[in-house]
Chain A
Amino acid sequence: MPPELGAGARQTAARHGTSVSTWLTEAAADKLRNELLGNALDEWEAEDGAFTEAELDEAASRLGLAPRSEVA
């Protein structure tokens, strides 16, 4: 692990009041779950069609985000 990354991990773990190993485990778990969620959404879109720009814009609005068309 690069020293800067290690230092950042230690600082962040300390800020969260947890150990570095626990923090790294949680980070890995989040990344893995994100991958699984992406797979689930890929399957959803494969079965029902890709989410349209209109749907994503509406979703962004519901989430309080700027419409994707404005971001792009």
Chain B
Amino acid sequence: MNAVLDAGALVAIDRRDRLIGAQLALQLRATPLRVSSAVVAKAWRDGRRQATLARVLAGVGREALAKDDGNRIGEPLARFPPLRTRHRPLPAEMARDLDVHGLPGLLAGVPLWVMVCHCEPRYSAGYGRMADGIGPEPAVRRTACSSGFSSCPRPADGSAGLREEHWWHPVLACASPPMEPCLETARV
């Protein structure tokens, strides 16, 4: 059994959120931690300013996405209602529901084309999630989502620019009016 960190967990680590630190401390004695290279790409911005994240990541196994994993992850997103998908897909939950086990099912939804919005949530309902990679038990330990945001300011504080990120299904993103100023398109 592995525990998988998602991007929200990495953001929380980078912000030195003590709750995620305590979860890591508990998990340390339990199961090896894993993270996907795609998720690291979402959270990693500047190692000189992310010392805590760098140190923690040294102790986390990294996994690469296989060729078809994007399809396997992306296609089930169509089954989720827009509201839920807008705020953040819950891939671990999806993995359980759809019987997609292992790391690919636990990653943030990564269609072939994804839109990444570097937004500061207006309200943050918490972030960081650790999920079991294997096993029938509930995979989502803590969901990472915000309750809403109205604009997407770029960081002006000289920080590394790390923000909680929201992954959007491409089709749904097209119908999302307030996001255009900060949408970036990335090929995964």
Contact = CB atoms under 8 A, between A and B. Distances in A.
Indicate the size class of the contact surface on chain A: 20 to 34
Contacts of A65: 26
Contact of A33 (B16, B26, B32, B141): B32
A40 B23 contact: no
B174 interface: no
A59 interface: yes
A35 B59 contact: yes
B16 A37 contact: no
Given A33-B32, A62-B142, A64-B141, A41 B61 contact: no
A60 B26 contact: yes
Given A37-B33, A40-B59, A44-B52, A63 B24 contact: no
Interface in A8-49: 29-30, 33-41, 43-45, 48
Contact of A37 (B20, B22, B28, B141): B28
B187 interface: no
A38 B58 CA distance: 10
Interface in B123-168: 130, 137-138, 141-142
Contacts of A38: 28, 59
A30 B32 contact: yes
B32 A34 contact: yes
Contacts of A36: 55, 58-59
Contact of A51 (B25, B32, B142): B25
Contacts of A29: 61
Given A38-B28, A63-B27, A51 B60 contact: no
Given A37-B59, A51-B21, A44 B16 contact: yes
Interface of B: 16, 18-28, 32-33, 52, 55-56, 58-61, 130, 137-138, 141-142
23 contacts: A29-B61, A33-B60, A36-B58, A37-B28, A38-B28, A38-B59, A39-B59, A40-B56, A41-B56, A44-B52, A48-B16, A51-B18, A51-B22, A59-B22, A59-B23, A59-B25, A62-B19, A62-B23, A62-B142, A63-B23, A63-B26, A63-B141, A65-B26
Interface of A: 29-30, 33-41, 43-45, 48, 51, 55-56, 58-60, 62-65
Query: Shortest 3 CB-CB distances between A and B: which pairs?
Result: A37-B59, A59-B22, A40-B55
